[in-house]
Amino acid sequence: MKIHALASSLLIATTSAFTPTPHHSFLPRRDVPVLKTSSSSSLKMVNVGIVGATGAVGKEIVGVLEKRSFPVTALKIFGSSRSAGKTVETKFGTVTVDEFDVDKARECDVVFLAVSGDFALEHAKAISAEGGAVVIDNSSAFRYDKDVPLCVPEINGDKTKGAKLVANPNCTTAIGLMALWPLHKLFKLKRVMMSTYQAASGAGQPGMDELQEGTKSVLMGEREVAENNIFAHPLPFNVIPHIDKFQENGYTKEEMKVTWETRKICDLADDFPVSCTAVRIPTYRAHSESIIVETEEPVDIEKAREALASAPGLKLVDDTDNEKYPMPLTATGQYDVEVGRLRKSLVFGDNGLEFFVCGDQLLRGAALNAVLVGEEMVKNGEFAEKAVA
């Protein structure tokens, strides 16, 4: 009872620091650093639509558009009939939510979809058909379609040229590739092995709510083990090596997404060896990944550091003497992916490297990547003709 009483007092004193705020964040934000990419301020103005702007990723898209000064002429937010008529305060003014309509969405220059794959399958191509809007889809609906670019702008932004529908990668893939790509260019990857430690927010706001409420119920002495509805097992004080459905080969779909998407984004062979084990952990936000690579060329650690330190979208945090390395606490709310713990692999020797990355999956793994895709397409002139019309 004394332990529960102490835990209760601590919880009451600290819970407010983790309660989702009414704006675009679920944890207290730190100052957002400027990305090592071009600013949106000099880009041509476009009409922007968002479907799903009241969800976790959708809120972050609005926030990134604001912070990146994306060249928004007008912002339209589409929702369900229940959401229609509500207002959302943004940097671009007060926006009244419209009930989703394909024809209205087609009037935009670009539409960000932050909704389910089923919704995207039903509506994305209709929105982006000739004369319609460019669609940037955050779901998995079109990621493996050979005719749809799967884009991380710093890696394959050129694939968006002429595209009317672009897929955003899985958050785990996007975070890992920010570090893998510079190393691939330097040493040529031969195989990749990854273990992930994924936050509750990967399951959206309901996942974060279940973690918070379950943790509170245990610390308050109301339950010995938290309830679970969102996750396969109780997440508080636990880790769950199970994200998404198990496949016939024993991997989960989440793990196979890393394999499939790494090959497509980096233009690797269909049999390029990528293996992943995905684990859900009881943190709110920011996914972490332990990555081991074997390379074709011998690894030079200092050259690897230089490449990672200068790569856009990355922050080298690798000062073990002062206990500085990537962590969810420092990566949360940040645009750059943290990378550190660099060392030569004891398994692969001179042709191996091991490191740790951590990135905010609602940003780099979703909203930020989507907005950067939009910026890339604005720079490429993809919206010029429609904007003039």
pLDDT band of residue 388 (cuts 50, 70, 90) is very low
For residue 215, the model assigns a pLDDT of 98
Of these residues, 108, 171, 266, 358, which one is catalytic? 171
Q: In terms of C-beta density within 10 A (0-12 exposed, 13-18 middle, 19 or more buried), how is residue 229 classed?
A: exposed
Q: Cα–Cα distance between 26 and 284 in angstroms, integer?
A: 8
Write out pLDDT tens, residues 179-225: 999 999 999 999 999 999 999 999 988 999 999 999 999 999 999 99
- DSSP designation for 271: T
Kind and range of the H or E run holding 178: helix 171-187
For residue 382, the model assigns a pLDDT of 81
pLDDT beyond 80 at 23: no
Q: Cα–Cα distance between 253 and 348 in angstroms, integer?
A: 28
For residue 137, the model assigns a pLDDT of 97
For residue 213, the model assigns a pLDDT of 98
- DSSP designation for 136: E
pLDDT band of residue 384 (cuts 50, 70, 90) is low
- Show the tokens assigned to 354: 């091991």
For residue 386, the model assigns a pLDDT of 55
Of these residues, 24, 123, 184, 287, which one is catalytic? 287
Q: Cα–Cα distance between 204 and 210 in angstroms, integer?
A: 10
Active-site residue, 287 included: yes
- Other beta carbons less than 10 A from residue 261's beta carbon: 24
Is there a contact between 307 and 182 (Cβ–Cβ < 8 Å)? yes
Active-site residue, 24 included: no
Write out pLDDT tens, residues 47-66: 999 999 888 899 999 999 99
Q: Cα–Cα distance between 10 and 374 in angstroms, integer?
A: 44
Q: Read off the amino acid at residue 129.
A: A
Mean pLDDT over all residues of the chain?
Answer: 89
Write out pLDDT tens, residues 339-380: 999 999 999 999 999 999 999 999 998 999 999 999 999 988
